[in-house]
Amino acid sequence: MRWLDIQEIAIQLEEMHPEADNVNLRFTDLRGWVTALPEFSDDPNGCNEKILEAIQMAWIDERS
């Protein structure tokens, strides 16, 4: 899984962190959770705020 696999990342985050407040989260936490996903194999420093925002929005959509 890579940074641009936004939907798959959102699904995995919901499975791994169902209790997390995915609306009011810090991007540093989000980045850490993404890079800790078992299937994540991209460069840990290969993201930016725009990618993290997209992941957060997809995660919010996944939950609702």
8 A C-beta contact, residue 42 and residue 3: yes
pLDDT digits (tens, 9 = 90+) for 6-47: 999 999 999 999 999 999 999 999 999 999 999 999 999 999
| pLDDT in the model for residue 39 | 95
pLDDT digits (tens, 9 = 90+) for 38-51: 999 999 999 999 99
pTM for the complete prediction? Answer: 0.94
| pLDDT in the model for residue 38 | 95
